[in-house]
Structures are given as structure tokens and as C-alpha cells.
Chain A
Amino acid sequence: MELKSKVPSGPLERKWDKHRFEMKLVNPANKRKYTVIVVGSGLAGGAAAASLSELGYNVKCFCFQDSPRRAHSIAAQGGINAAKNYQNDGDSVYRLFYDTIKGGDFRAREGNVYRLAEVSVNIIDQCVAQGVPFAREYGGLLANRSFGGAQVSRTFYARGQTGQQLLLGAYQALEKEIARGGVTMFPRTEMLDLIVVNGRARGIVTRDMVTGAIETHLADAVILGSGGYSNVFYLSTNAKGSNATAIWRAYKRGAAFANPCFTQIHPTCIPVSGEHQSKLTLMSESLRNDGRVWVPKRKEDCAKSPRDIPEQDRDYYLERKYPSFGNLSPRDIASRAAKEVCDEGRGVGPGGRGVYLDFSDAIKRLGQAAITERYGNLFEMYERITDENPYEVPMRIYPAAHYTMGGLWVDYNLMSTIPGLHVIGEANFSDHGANRLGASALMQGLADGYFVMPLTLGDYFGSNRLEPVTTDNPEVRATEAAVRERTERLLAVKGTRTVASIHRELGKIMWEYCGMARDAAGLNKALELIPKLREEFWRDVRVLGSGQELNQSLEHAGRLADFLELAELMCLDALDREESCGAHFRIEHQTPDGEALRHDETFAYVAAWEYAGDGKTPILNKEPLVFENVALSQRSYK
């Protein structure tokens, strides 16, 4: 497999402009002759579907939720970055580019990241024009706040609901196009396979989740904006329905999967309260501005009430280990440190998997009113879930799987290794390297959807002659038959174990061996356990009901079947990457003082895995990362 990044030559700041001129265009009258499938209706998919329809393409948009407005982008809280420099604090496109490359621990492509920073400013303009109610200053201008990994204030926000408001902007644009007839929307419809004809992506096979009908949809190009795969961990901050099926099916049809082991664990989530736990809730990282993180120095004190543990018996471990960044250490560092103290038996709360985030000093210093003003809604949410008042007792927090930097490999045009298959948003691997900075996911989703995909798709159509494909094509029929067979197979197992119980077990394996800290022994162990669990799934899962109705167990089983395969690839990738970088921490590769140790000479590449058939080891292809503009450096937060 050849990996051509297609990043244009020339100076960094001229690449996108030059490319825009060089790309082929499609005549407005010809655009209506093309049909485009968009899978997913979040920030990336929704924005792309609306924008492509505005250009004149026929768009078919699919989502598994009952409405495109419910895509998981909606849950993002904090904000969206843009290099507007409205604060006059020294921000620039180049600085946003640099922060993103460095935050990703030098494992992303320079050209893509620079373009992301460039179009970030257009995103804010577009969203304001759509009526997104961003926070404002008294003069009526847009307000900003600061976020992790940056020394400038470049984050735009709408209270703690930024993702919701940006998504509603894209959704409203999408509904406008649906009403106009440019987009046909298929809610409650799940993509179950990709149709590849003569080497090109030409459609998808779907299941109507209400009637169970398996249907074929043909098109001239397919765009996946189907999100990330954190739910491989079972417990994550993702929505329950978030899944990897679309990208996994595409992988099995020939799209390379890049850096699957790059998964971000967010340090401040509400801990697990029991076996019944179905998902984890994130508490904004901003809480660490005023909260102090600690655990008891002695194991014996863990069961005591935190108020009965005197100051000298507390270990403010982040302040102790990272005196200059303290409680504001980056996500990966703070997450690992929490795991370490809990592994030592000093964790607090049910199961000993939690650390305190204590606001008592801040309340003493600033008064309760100031804390309420800053974090009131978060404190309320915490109390609603835990029934504990964080003004009186410290919060308990623990890290949780949150975002996946890995995804399908794409070139500069956001096209995968299958011609005609494009991948946008969290579903691709492109811009965040080994670690994503806060407030950058929304930026990337909208950049891909509004400003990159609509242009590069035209280049694909303009440069290729597509033959007509009909539903009686043998490759189309074979793909549809494979989907039917698979659905029937899931129903036919009639075993004893519930889907959720197997998913929980997979999650525990992944969290233990492929979570915040990994080593060869653990990864090899996981590589033994996962195939066994997968075998057990296909032998003993119990899916009741039929395929011809709304059947939530069947939906979950299909997604889990794919997670059971993807999990193995993640472990394989983690094992292969013999270095630590960003969120990927290999215990064997750390500096003497316990920090991530990169090996740039051997691992400055994108690992793009190619499917080789069931039961066969996938093929590792490498795209070398070339840094012409930034100097690679070791991150330090001491």
C-alpha cells in the first residue's frame, strides 16, 4: 500500500492557497449530477452535508440517532479554538499551528495542522453568522477564555454548551438544505458496510433501525464523519451509541487505520460508583484552575472522611511532582499520576478508584460566591450525580477514556486509501498527533466539514471519470448479502451472555492493558484475552427478538463485534510503537524522572495498518513525518 500524503509543496503558509488554485473544479451545472453520501451528522458530517448541498451536490446524510441534532458533538463543553487574536495577546495562525503540533507531541502532519489553524478564523465567522450565541463582552464583542496547552486566550465558548450550540448551527443549516431538497436525511439508519466497486467507494449498505430493512445506497463518493471509538473501553465519556462500525467496516474494505493506539484519557471525570455504571461524565478541566488534587499519604486513611485527614497527612501529589505546573499539568500527565496513586492503594471512594479535587482553599481565599460564579453549574451537576455537596466535601474524580486521535488514514484532501472514501472529524487521524489539546476537536470537525471537504471533493470528481454503478452489480450484491448474513449470524447464536456483559469485560481488558500506561507484557496479555473473548461472543452472545424490528440488543451486538476486532488492532499498534508520546505511554520508555520518552529517529511516522484478512496479522505501512518548520523538542512540565 502506498501512502501519498499529497501535502502541496512550497512554504507552509502558501500550501492551502496554492492547493485551492490547483484543484479541479466542477461546473455548477454538473454538480447536481453527483450524489454524495455523508455518514454521521455531527460537527464534521452535518457541516459537510449542509455545505455540499449548498454547492449543488445531491447529498444523502445518515445518522443512527432519531435526529441529526443529537450527534455526540453536542456534548462538548469547553469551547472552540481560533487564531483570531482578538485579545491582542500575541496569537497568530502560526502560534495555533505550533501549539497543536507540540501538544500532539510531534506526531501530526505540519501541512494539515497549518491549514486547520488557517481556517479556524473562518469557522468563528461562519458560526456567528448562523446565530451561535457565543459569550460576549459588554461592548458586544466576542469573549475568549484560556485553555490547556496554550499561553494565549483563543477559546470561544457558549457557556458550558459550546458543542451543543455549534452543532445546532450546523444542524439548522442542514435542516434548511433538507427543506430545500438538496439533502435527503436518513435518521435511525446505521451504516453496516461500505460498497467498493472497481477499487472506488461507491455506496453503503444500511439497516433501517425501525423496520430492520437492509438497504443499498449508491453514490459517487462516500464521506465518513462517524466519530471516535472510545467506547471500546465500555466506560467512556462518549454517548452510549458512539461506535466504530462505519470506520471499521471501511478498514476491512481496504482503508488504512492510522495510529489506533492514540487514545486520550481525560483526567477529570466523575468516578465509577458501581458495576451498574453505564458511562462516565466529564467535569470540565477548568476546575483544576482552583481545585487542589490530593490523596491520603497513608492507605489506612483512605476510608476516613476527607475532613478528618489533617493537612500533614495529605499528599498533593501533582504539586509535589510538578511544582511549576502543579494542578494544571496536561491531561496525560495528570491522568497517569492519578492512576499511580490509586495503584499504590491510596485511591478514595468506592473501589479505591478516585482522587480528591478540593476547593476548600479556593473558597477560603475567594469566598463561596466567586467559586459559584466560576463553576456553579459544574458543582450542581456533580451534586446531582453523586449526591455530595462539593462546597463542603472535596469532589472525587478519576480519569476516563474521552477522545481518539487515531482513525482512518487520510491524505491532505481527507481521502482515505480507498479512492472516493473521505473521512472527516474524529473519525480520521489527521490533525491531533498523539494528544489533542482542549477546544481543538470542535475546531477540526468544523474545519473539515465547512472548509476542506467541500473543496477537495470537487477535485476528486474533477480528476476522475466515474463509471455508472447499479444495484445489480455483483460487488454491490455481495456486500449487501454479507450484511444480511452477519445480522442473521448475530441472531442465530442464541447463547447465554448479554451483549452488555461482554462489552463490560472487553472494556476492563482495554482499560487495564491498553489504557493510561502500557507495557509489552500487558499488551501481550490483552492480545491473548481479546481473541478468546471474541470467540466467546460469537459462541455465547444472546440477542433476542428479530432483525425485522427495532432491536437495540442487535444494534449493540453488531457494534461490539467490531469493537472486539478493533481492540486487538489497538493493542498491536501500542505494542509496535516502542516509545512514549502524548497519550501513548509505554512504561518501558520513560525518562529517569518518569516522563514520556519519544524516539524520534525511529518512530516519527504515522502507523497506517492495512487489513490482510480475518485471522491474519494486519500489515503495517509507515508514512514518515517530515518537520520542515518546527524543531522537535521534549515536553517538560516540571
Chain B
Amino acid sequence: MNLILHVWRQASSDSPGKMERYEARDVSPDMSFLEMLDVVNEGLVESGKVPIAFDHDCREGICGSCGMMINGVAHGPMKGTATCQLHMRSFTDGAEVYVEPWRSRAFPVIKDLVVNRGALDRIIAAGGFISVRTGSAQDGNNLPVAKDAAEDAMDAAACIGCGACVAACPNGSASLFTAAKISHLGLLPQGQPERQRRAARMVAQMDAEGFGHCTLYGECQEACPKEISIDTIARMNHDFITATLATREEKSLGGVG
């Protein structure tokens, strides 16, 4: 099959970008979307043109490196699938395909389809962990975890940090990403001591990074390659509000003392 691609090209973060038109010829339906881009890139190099830059690594849908807007949809038309696992059989011969980087104020473009997602790491650094020094853990079976809690925590922990939720959100919110981690750790008994602090700090960091607020469009869960539910956002809001109230109480007590 043959396709017409329109790809966002931008030489660097401070230079202007534009859509460029390319022809992808003799595409096999068995190729992944990224393999199709590989072939286009090899053709570009052969004709002396700089290839299209895009992030990718594991190519099995787990590392979260890849991600692009394909015809305006984060990760393209197949639900629950990262770009690397999207295959060309999802497209028809002769189709025109528009490929753009993630668009969000908090994800500046580095080059072409490559964006800086460092903000997501900083949200985790703000509180997305359980503080446990290496070597200080008790026996793993000393703390039973209800099977349901473990399963729900795993559902949330499946997040690959690709940023599709941000790119899909009309507000550019990172709520699904942040909520997934707050839920994963907050559902487990190990995560209880830091639960409120975690929610308060991660939400504050999300705001500081310039992500928008959640108004429950639900686009994020549609785009999520791991199909993480926006139920996690309800859990985040609950923990955040509880944390806010608890902090106030602490402060007023401090004032009295």
C-alpha cells in the first residue's frame, strides 16, 4: 500500500516548525507504524534529507518512549495500543496521515516529533514513591495485601508514562498520569503513611509544571494505551481534598500551641 504522510518538522525547540508532505511507498500491512517511519527515514537519508526524529525504544508497548498524534488522535486509531504496536493494516491504501508531536504547554518540542516529558518525572519526584531505605524492609509476607487491592493497584500501576493522556486532554492536564500513581500507592497498605502528603505534593507539582486542570472530558482514558480508568482521578481528588483539610488542621493546631 501507498500513503501520503504530513509530518511535523521542527529543527529545534526555538525554531518554527511546519507540516511536510512525504510519500510512503510499498508499505506492508504487517509493518508497525514506527517501521513505516523507519522506511520513510531510510528513503530520506538516501536522498540526502535529514530523517524525521521520533522517540522510541522497546517497540513492544511497555517503555512509554513513543507517542505521536496520528490524524489528531494520541497513538492513532487502535484503542489500548501504543504507537509502536499500531500496525499499518489499520490504514487503507492511499490514505493521508497527519503525524504531529504531543501538544502541551508542559511538553516543549525538542525536535520534530520528540518532546520533553521531564515534567512527568518531576511529578513522581514530588511524592510518587514510598520512602523505604534499601535494607530496611520486613519479610514480604508480614504484610498481607487483599487480592482485590493488589489487583486494583496493579491496574493503576500499569501506566507507562507516555504522556498520551496529556496530549489528548483539551486542558493539557496530567491528571490521569498523576492519579494513576497516587492510586497505585494509595491502594496498598504500604502506601498509607505518606498518602496525604503524596497527593498534596504531586498535585502541587502538576500545577507548577503548567499542566491544565481536569474537567472530566474523559479523553485521557480513551487515549491511554493501558486503558487506565478516570476512576483514579476521583481517588486523587479524594486524597488531595483530605490532605488539604488535614494540613489546615495541623496549621491551626500549631497556631494554638
Contacts and interface: CB of A to CB of B under 8 A. Distances in A.
Interface of A: 47, 50-51, 54, 65-70, 72, 74-75, 84, 86, 122, 124-131, 133-142, 158-159, 161, 164-165, 168, 171-173, 175-176, 178-179, 185, 187, 210, 239-241, 273-274, 276-279, 281-282, 381, 384-387, 450-451, 454, 496, 498, 500-501, 542, 544-545, 549-550, 552-553
The DSSP consensus for interface residues of chain B is: loop
Contact of A70 (B64, B116, B151): B64
A451 to B, nearest CB: 7
Contacts of A124: 140
A75 B111 CA distance: 26
A568 B151 CA distance: 47
B50 interface: yes
A552 B139 CA distance: 45
A138 B147 contact: yes
Interface in B87-129: 87, 89, 110-111, 114, 116-118, 120-121, 124-126, 128-129
B57 A131 contact: no
Interface of B: 11-12, 28-32, 34-36, 38-39, 42, 45-46, 48-51, 53, 55-60, 62-65, 78, 81, 85, 87, 89, 110-111, 114, 116-118, 120-121, 124-126, 128-141, 143-147, 150-151, 153-154, 157-158, 160-161, 184-185, 188, 190-191
A411 B29 CA distance: 50
Given A133-B153, A140-B146, A175-B124, A128 B55 contact: no
A65 B57 contact: yes
Contacts of A126: 132, 134-135, 137
A184 to B, nearest CB: 12
B199 to A, nearest CB: 15
A581 to B, nearest CB: 30
Nearest to A553: B51
A241 B54 CA distance: 12
Contact of A69 (B50, B133, B146, B161): B161
Given A125-B139, A450-B134, A544-B48, A550 B111 contact: yes
A172 B124 contact: yes
Contact of A277 (B35, B62, B63, B138): B35
Nearest to B133: A54
Contacts of B50: 544-545
A129 B129 CA distance: 11
Contacts of A65: 57, 63, 65
A442 to B, nearest CB: 14
Contact of A542 (B12, B45, B147, B150): B45
A124 B145 CA distance: 14
A403 to B, nearest CB: 15
B2 to A, nearest CB: 15
Nearest to B36: A276
A175 B28 contact: no
B57 A70 contact: yes
A544 B45 contact: yes
B28 A239 contact: no
Given A67-B161, A75-B60, A210-B110, A387 B141 contact: no
Of the listed residues B30, B42, B120, the one surrounded by the most CB atoms of chain A closer than 10 A to its CB is B30
B30 A387 contact: yes
B157 A74 contact: no
A500 B38 contact: yes
Contact of A161 (B62, B87, B134): B62
B51 to A, nearest CB: 6
B140 A142 contact: yes
Contact of B145 (A68, A122, A140, A384): A140
B129 A165 contact: no
Given A130-B132, A140-B145, A273-B30, A72 B58 contact: yes
A513 to B, nearest CB: 25
Contact of A66 (B116, B134, B188): B116
A182 to B, nearest CB: 12
Nearest to B157: A133
Contact of B141 (A75, A141, A384): A141
A278 B51 CA distance: 16
10 contacts: A66-B116, A70-B161, A125-B139, A133-B157, A136-B147, A136-B150, A161-B62, A176-B131, A240-B59, A276-B31
A164 B190 CA distance: 19
B38 A276 contact: yes
Contacts of B137: 122, 125-126, 128-129
B85 A171 contact: no
A140 B147 contact: yes
A238 to B, nearest CB: 8
Contacts of B63: 65, 70, 72, 74-75, 239
Contacts of B45: 498, 542, 544, 553
Given A140-B147, A240-B56, A553-B45, A131 B87 contact: no
Contacts of A66: 55, 65, 116-118
Nearest to B55: A66
A239 B144 CA distance: 35
A159 B51 contact: no
Given A67-B161, A126-B132, 17 more contacts: A50-B134, A67-B117, A70-B161, A74-B63, A124-B140, A126-B134, A129-B138, A140-B145, A142-B141, A165-B157, A173-B132, A173-B134, A274-B28, A384-B81, A384-B85, A387-B87, A545-B50
Given A67-B121, A279-B59, A54 B116 contact: no
Contacts of B59: 239-240, 278-279, 281
A130 B57 contact: no
A125 B190 contact: no
A274 B34 CA distance: 14
A369 B39 CA distance: 40
Contacts of A133: 150-151, 153-154, 157, 184, 188
Contacts of A47: 134
Nearest to A238: B58
A278 B58 contact: no
Contacts of B111: 549-550
A136 B130 contact: no
B87 to A, nearest CB: 7
A70 B125 contact: no
Given A50-B134, A67-B118, A281-B60, A125 B140 contact: yes
B128 A175 contact: yes
A175 B50 CA distance: 35
Nearest to A173: B129
A75 B62 contact: yes
What 8 A-B pairs have minimum CB-CB distances, sorted nearest first? A140-B144, A172-B129, A129-B137, A179-B125, A128-B140, A125-B137, A175-B125, A51-B134
Contacts of A451: 134-135
A426 B29 CA distance: 35
Given A130-B190, A141-B141, A239-B59, A172 B130 contact: yes
B109 to A, nearest CB: 11
Nearest to B131: A176
Given A67-B118, A176-B129, A279-B59, A54 B140 contact: no
A153 to B, nearest CB: 14
Contacts of A172: 124, 128-130
Given A67-B121, A69-B64, A161-B62, A131 B191 contact: yes
A387 B188 contact: no
Nearest to B126: A179
Nearest to B159: A168
Given A141-B141, A239-B63, A274 B154 contact: no
